């Protein structure tokens, strides 16, 4: 049985947030004043970030309990039932993880090791 073709999702890359010195991030894009958090550009970026976060959280809610495919940075492909994501520890919880070495009942995947994941809609 062949897998369905995954639906492509557009990626929007936003600049880094401001660091403590103010030399990078939003302040570099909003040059009106050194502390221009209320500038139109800053509000637009904040709105875009909020919309993307909401979209990502909705995606995670839809993925719960579904079979998913994970591609790791080292080229290994894994299959598992998606469980949950922990933003603070940067981990993805999965069940029935199928690896080249066998099946694991449940596992945590470090999000830094995952290049991409997909699941059928």
pTM tops 0.75: no
The pLDDT value recorded for residue 7 is 64
Question: Does any domain span residue 69?
Answer: yes
Q: Which two tokens stand for residue 112?
A: 């830094």
How many CA atoms lie less than 13 Å away from 116 in the CB half-sphere? 8
Number of domains in the chain: 1
Query: pLDDT (tens digit, 9 = 90+) per residue, 78-119?
Result: 999 999 888 777 888 999 999 888 899 999 999 889 998 888
Distance, in Å, from the CA atom of 75 to the CA atom of 105, rounded to the nearest integer, reads 22
CATH of the domain at 95: 2.30.30.100
Whether the predicted pLDDT of 35 surpasses 60: no
- Residue 100 belongs to some domain of the structure: yes
- Measure the CA–CA gap between 35 and 50, rounded to whole angstroms: 21
φ, ψ for residue 32 (rounded to 5)? -65, -45
Query: How many of the other CB atoms lie within 10 Å of CB of 46?
Result: 13
- The answer on pLDDT for 67 being more than 90 is yes
Average pLDDT rounded to a whole number, residues 4-21:
61
39 located within any domain: no
pLDDT above 70 (res 43) = yes
Taking the chain, what is the end-to-end CA distance rounded to the nearest angstrom?
17
Average pLDDT over residues 17-26: 54
Residue 115 domain boundaries: 64-120
The single-letter DSSP state of residue 53 is: H
Assigned domain for 76 exists? yes
Cβ atoms within 10 Å, residue 117: 20
């Amino acid at each position: 049985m062949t897998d369905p073709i995954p639906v492509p999702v557009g990626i929007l890359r936003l600049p880094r947030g401001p660091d403590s010195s103010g030399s990078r991030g939003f302040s570099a894009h909003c040059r009106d004043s050194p502390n221009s958090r209320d500038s139109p550009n800053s509000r637009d970026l904040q709105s875009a970030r909020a919309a993307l976060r909401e979209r990502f959280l909705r995606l995670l809610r839809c993925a719960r309990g579904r079979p998913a495919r994970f591609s790791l940075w080292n080229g290994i492909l894994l299959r598992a039932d998606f469980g949950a994501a922990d933003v603070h520890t940067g981990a993805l919880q999965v069940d029935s993880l199928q690896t080249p070495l066998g099946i694991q009942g449940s596992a945590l995947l470090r999000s830094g090791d995952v290049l991409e994941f997909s699941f059928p809609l």
